[in-house]
A and B are shown apart, each in its own frame.
Chain A
Amino acid sequence: MKKKILSLLLAGCLCLAACGQSAESSSNAESAPAPASAPAGSAEPVSLSGKVTVYMPSPSGLADKLAGAFTAKTGVEVEQFQGTTGEILARLETEKANPAADVVILASWSDGLSLKAGGLLESYTPANAGKINKGWIDADSTLFGYSASAVGVIYNTTIYPELNADWAELADVRYQGDIAIPDPEKSGACKDFLAGFSTGTDDGEDVMQSWADNGLTVPGANKAALEAVTTGEKGILIAGVDYNAYSSMARGEPLAIYYPATGTVVNPRPAMIMNTAPNMDNAKAFIDFLFSDEAQELVAAAYLLPGRSDVKCDNRSNLDEIPQITTDWDKMMEAASDIAAKLNAMCQ
Chain B
Amino acid sequence: MRQLSATRKSVLPLIGLLVILGVLIVCPLIMVFAEAVISDGRLDFSGAWTMIADSGNLQTIWNSLRLGLCVVLCSTVIAVPTAYLLARTQLAKRRWLDIIFMIPFMTPPYIASMGWILFMQKRGLFQQLFPSSGNFSEKFFCFGGLVLVMSLHVFPFLMTMMKNAISNIPASLEESGAVFGAGFGRRLRKIFAPLLTGNYAIGALLVFVKTLAEYGTPYTLGRRIGYYVFTTDIHRYSTTAPIDFGRSASLSAVLVAICMGLWLLQNHITDRCSYRLVGGKGSRPAATTLHPAGHLLAWVWAAVVALAAIGIPYFSIISTSLIHLRGYGLTPGNFTFAHYAELFTTPKSLRAIQTSLFLASASAVICSALGTAVVLAARRRKGKLGKAVEAVSLLPEMLPSIVLIIGMMLFWNAIYKTIPLYNTIGIMVLAYVALYLPYTVQYVTSAFAQINDSLMQAGRTFGGSPSYVFRRITLPMIFKGILSGWMMIFIIAFRELVTASLIAPPNVLVVSTYINREFEQGSVSLGMAMAVLCVLITTAALLIMNGLSGRKERKT
**B326 interface residue (CB < 8 Å to A):** yes
Is the CB–CB distance between A82 and B517 below 8 Å?
A: yes
A53-B506, A84-B520 known; A2 vs B556 contact (CB < 8 Å): yes
**A87 interface residue (CB < 8 Å to B):** yes
Chain A residues bordering chain B, tally (CB within 8 A): 61
**B144 interface residue (CB < 8 Å to A):** no
**B88 interface residue (CB < 8 Å to A):** no
Is the CB–CB distance between A231 and B329 below 8 Å?
A: yes
Is the CB–CB distance between A58 and B325 below 8 Å?
A: no
**B22 interface residue (CB < 8 Å to A):** no
Interface segment out of the listed B118-126, B251-259, B278-286: B118-126
Selected from B238, B420, B521, the residue in CB contact (under 8 A) with A59 is B521
Is the CB–CB distance between A233 and B123 below 8 Å?
A: yes
Q: How far is the CB of B267 from chain A (nearest CB, A)?
A: 35
Selected from B224, B327, B409, the residue in CB contact (under 8 A) with A254 is B327
**Complexed CA–CA distance, A231 and B483 (Å):** 44
Closest residue of B by beta carbon distance from A98: B416
Is the CB–CB distance between B423 and A20 below 8 Å?
A: no
Q: Tell me which residues from 400 to 445 in chain B have a Cβ below 8 Å from any Cβ of chain A.
A: 409, 413, 416-417, 420, 422-426, 429
Selected from A9, A20, A84, A254, the residue in CB contact (under 8 A) with B328 is A254
Q: Tell me which residues from 45 to 84 in chain A have a Cβ below 8 Å from any Cβ of chain B.
A: 53, 55, 58-60, 64, 79-82, 84
Is the CB–CB distance between B326 and A230 below 8 Å?
A: yes
Q: Tell me which residues from 233 to 269 in chain B have a Cβ below 8 Å from any Cβ of chain A.
A: 238-243
Is the CB–CB distance between A233 and B325 below 8 Å?
A: no
A6-B479, A60-B517 known; A232 vs B239 contact (CB < 8 Å): no
**A186 interface residue (CB < 8 Å to B):** yes
**B94 interface residue (CB < 8 Å to A):** no
Q: How far is the CB of B140 from chain A (nearest CB, A)?
A: 13
Q: How far is the CB of A151 from chain B (nearest CB, A)?
A: 16
Selected from A23, A53, A232, A337, the residue in CB contact (under 8 A) with B327 is A232
Q: Tell me which residues from 309 to 360 in chain B have a Cβ below 8 Å from any Cβ of chain A.
A: 325-329, 348, 354, 358
> Which B residues are in CB contact (< 8 Å) with A13?
365, 368, 486
**A252 interface residue (CB < 8 Å to B):** yes
Is the CB–CB distance between B121 and A233 below 8 Å?
A: yes
Is the CB–CB distance between A255 and B327 below 8 Å?
A: yes
Is the CB–CB distance between A5 and B548 below 8 Å?
A: yes
**A90 interface residue (CB < 8 Å to B):** yes
Is the CB–CB distance between B327 and A231 below 8 Å?
A: yes
Question: Which of B124, B416, B423, B476 has the most chain A CB within a 10 Å cutoff?
Answer: B423
Closest residue of B by beta carbon distance from A19: B358
Q: How far is the CB of B31 from chain A (nearest CB, A)?
A: 14
Is the CB–CB distance between B483 and A97 below 8 Å?
A: no
**A86 interface residue (CB < 8 Å to B):** yes
Selected from A5, A94, A230, the residue in CB contact (under 8 A) with B243 is A94
Is the CB–CB distance between A253 and B521 below 8 Å?
A: no
**B382 interface residue (CB < 8 Å to A):** no
- Interface 1/0s, chain A 240-270, versus B by CB < 8 A? 0000000000011111000000000000000
> Which A residues are in CB contact (< 8 Å) with B238?
90
**B552 interface residue (CB < 8 Å to A):** yes
> Which B residues are in CB contact (< 8 Å) with A156?
327
> Which A residues are in CB contact (< 8 Å) with B479?
6, 9
Interface segment out of the listed A137-145, A221-229, A318-326: A221-229
**A42 interface residue (CB < 8 Å to B):** no
**B551 interface residue (CB < 8 Å to A):** yes
**B361 interface residue (CB < 8 Å to A):** yes
**A168 interface residue (CB < 8 Å to B):** no
Question: Which of B118, B121, B348, B368 has the most chain A CB within a 10 Å cutoff?
Answer: B121
> Which A residues are in CB contact (< 8 Å) with B486?
13
Is the CB–CB distance between B506 and A55 below 8 Å?
A: yes
**Complexed CA–CA distance, A31 and B424 (Å):** 9
Is the CB–CB distance between A94 and B521 below 8 Å?
A: no
Is the CB–CB distance between B409 and A94 below 8 Å?
A: yes
**A125 interface residue (CB < 8 Å to B):** no
**A27 interface residue (CB < 8 Å to B):** yes
Closest residue of A by beta carbon distance from B240: A86
- Interface 1/0s, chain A 92-120, versus B by CB < 8 A? 01110110100000000000000000000
**Complexed CA–CA distance, A339 and B226 (Å):** 19
Is the CB–CB distance between A5 and B416 below 8 Å?
A: no
Selected from B326, B483, B519, B555, the residue in CB contact (under 8 A) with A2 is B555
Is the CB–CB distance between B362 and A227 below 8 Å?
A: no
**Complexed CA–CA distance, A227 and B122 (Å):** 12
**A37 interface residue (CB < 8 Å to B):** no
14 A-B interface contacts by CB (under 8 A)? A2-B476, A13-B365, A17-B361, A17-B362, A17-B365, A23-B358, A24-B429, A58-B522, A84-B520, A84-B521, A93-B241, A98-B416, A230-B327, A233-B121
> Contacts A58-B522, A79-B507, A94-B413 given; 16 further ones with Cβ under 8 A?
A2-B556, A5-B552, A60-B521, A60-B522, A80-B506, A85-B241, A87-B240, A89-B243, A97-B413, A156-B327, A221-B521, A231-B121, A231-B123, A233-B121, A252-B325, A254-B328
